Structure 1
Amino acid sequence: MKVKPRERISPCSAVLLAAELGLVLTTMSLLCCAYPERVRRTLWQIGGENGWNSNPRLRVYFYANYEKPPDIPPIWSQRLSESNLAISVLAVVISMVRIVLAFLGSASSFSAVFNAFNDMLLSGFWMYSVAAQSSSDLTDPGHLSLRPWYLEKSCEILHESVVHHCVLAKACFAFSVLSLMLFLARSVYSVLKLAYWCGSRQMLDRGVAVILVHSRLKRGLEASHASPLFSIRSNHYDYDYDDDDDDGGEDVNSCDEHCSRTKNSVFWVWHNNDDESWGPPRGE
């Protein structure tokens, strides 16, 4: 038994995998720094004090008047920081698994399906992250904010003590966009590669042939008046699917070897009185 030699990863693929891992690691590090609740709350307070969005300090008046305050906008909530960090961790794990599979020389079929599925999954997650990080704050009718103020204004206008919060928020958004672009591009490439792999092995044709054969086999079994029920024909042989050898055909048990040898030249024939119903494949 010959063992198929392991495929070596190309230098170009190795560089791309290393670049992907570096990008997701950087993004995860930035989102880890922005994870503490004080970062989002500070950005919210800076915008509220300057009239760029709702002011969190005014929420105390709702409690004083025994009124329910409006919900915290998603852009300033801790849930956004948690989801962003979870997405970045997932991206790092998948990138590391991808690198391990590439260097171990995993089967092309598994790699194609694995890459296509995970690239589309991460693309969807990063779309959500980017959309959430650029969402609006409409809780204060007097200070509506369609986008976070730190994406529209320069950090230089702020006091030195809070500039690093603004820069961190900008960097998190920028690297999230880069990650989204990376995995969108990878999704297109992975889907096209998977489609090429399926087409090169005629998987669609084989699947359709199996479905048609199963359907016609079921109909043939239901036709109790048919005699013989059905047979298998190829370019050179007839195979009876009944136990009788009246028509001189070979036994169906010998079909496996011939089917694997003739591939698409084998087709099914049902005998119903004087009519014959031909099955896949066609075009022979």
Structure 2
Amino acid sequence: MKLLLGKNRTYLLIPRAWTRVGNKAVGWLMPFELAVLVPVLVIFGISQPDLYRSDMWQIGFDNKLNSNPNMVLYAYANYRPLPTVPLIWSSTLTNFNVAISIISLFFLLAKLIAFIMKMYYPIFAVFINVALIALYSVSVYGQVGPDYADPRYPASAAWYFRQGCGLAQKYGKFKSCQIAQASLGVTLLMLVFYLVNLGFAIYARWPNQENHLAYEDDQNSTTSDPKERSMSTWEMQSMKSPVSANAVPFTPRTQAFHTLDRQLPLRQQT
């Protein structure tokens, strides 16, 4: 199926081939993407339901670096409206990270299968990478952790990104703090992978001479009708083999005439 766009219907939307560089880059990026996705799955998986979130929140409040973890309890006790828990300290972010890691694995497997079958077109890559970039951008924003719930201790970012994990040592939570830092690191790596993939996909969608040449090569390398390809090969066999000067060229039509000549009744009577 071909879908052409433009005033003169010269822009091929589907199927539009990858450029040579883009095709190789997308193929080589998949193993590296899997190598980063495995730590993402592990870190997000062990972080659920609450490996370090509440501890880091409490340590930050003890050192006047973020809001109070007991704000919800105080609101219940004083019959006040429930405050909005910052995204970084909420279970919503933890569950969200687990969900996007599983979604990433699903898309990676689907992309690998489609790439092997030569059905992973750039237009699909654009939509997939844009969606994943949006998801991971939300995750990065949540993990960086702006916390303005307590006006006394506003925080533009989580304290362990601003001051390191030194404060967590005396609480015995140094490893948990490092996991929290590593969580943001692998998330940023995944975001970079999707941005690079999106760049190659957009370049392949952009009208350029290299893309047209790549598509023409793909079209010329595969014959649409196998019957025509075998027929042309058969007809040219006699031309490639050496023949004498008096020999009659042999073609499928020659064989048909010989068969017809043997079946004529007048020929058999004479």
TM more than 0.5: yes
Give yes or no for contact 1:21–1:96 (8 Å, CA) kept in 2. no
- Size of the aligned set, in residue pairs, is 190
The SS at the match of 1:52 is coil
* 1:1-284 correspondence runs (5 A): 14-57=27-70, 59-103=72-116, 105-107=117-119, 110-158=120-168, 159=170, 161-196=172-207, 200=212
For residues 144 and 54 of structure 1, the distance between their equivalents in structure 2, rounded to whole angstroms, comes to 7
Q: Contact conserved, 1:137 with 1:144, CA < 8 A, in 2?
A: yes
Aligned partner of 2:221 in structure 1 is none
- Given the superposition, is the C-alpha separation of residues 135 and 155 from structure 1 closer, same or farther in structure 2, using an over 3 Å criterion? closer
Q: Which has the higher strand share?
A: 1
Map Cα deviations across residues 225-247 of structure 1 (whole Å, 9 max, x no partner): xxxxxxxxxxxxxxxxxxxxxxx
Q: Aligned pair in 2 of structure 1 residues 93, 197: CA closer, same or farther (>3 Å)?
A: farther
1:160-197 superposed Cα distances (whole Å, 9 cap, x missing partner): 62112211110000111111111011101111113358
1:59–1:113 CA distance, 2 compared to 1 (3 A): closer
CA distance 1:12–1:121, shift in 2 (3 Å): closer
CA distance in 1, matches of 2:208, 2:106: 25
Q: Deviations over 1:113-137 (max 9, x none)?
A: 2222211211111111111211311
Is this contact kept in 1: 2:146–2:156, CA < 8 A? yes
Distance between the aligned counterparts of 2:155 and 2:26, measured in 1?
43
User: Displacement, 1:59?
Assistant: 4.3
Q: Structure 1 residue 157: deviation in Å? A: 3.1
Note closer, same or farther for the CA distance 1:64–1:11 as it changes in structure 2 (3 Å cut). Answer: closer
Residue type of the partner of 1:55? N
**TM-score normalized with structure 1 length:** 0.61
Contact 1:112 1:194 in 2 (8 A): yes
Aligned partners of 1:142 and 1:172: how far apart in 2? 28
The whole-number CA distance in structure 2 between the counterparts of 1:131 and 1:70 is 20
Q: State the secondary structure of the residue aligned to 1:117.
A: helix
Q: CA RMSD in A?
A: 2.5
Q: Is 89-98 or 153-162 further displaced after alignment?
A: 153-162
- Report the secondary structure of 2:70's partner residue: helix
More helix by share: 2
Change (3 A) 1:45 1:157: closer
Higher relative contact order (CA 8 A, sep 6+): 2
TM-score (structure 2 length as normaliser): 0.63
For the Cα contact (< 8 Å) 2:129–2:194, is it kept in 1? yes
TM superposition shift of 1:23:
1.2
Q: Which runs of 4+ in 1 moved over 4 A?
A: 10-14, 196-199
In the alignment, the residues of structure 2 paired with residue 38 and residue 58 of structure 1 have an alpha-carbon distance, to the nearest angstrom, of 20
- Percent identical across equivalent pairs? 25
CA distance in 2 between counterparts of 1:11 and 1:139 reads: 48
Partner Cα distance (1:181, 1:14) in 2: 16
The 1:95/1:83 distance shift into structure 2, 3 A limit, reads: same
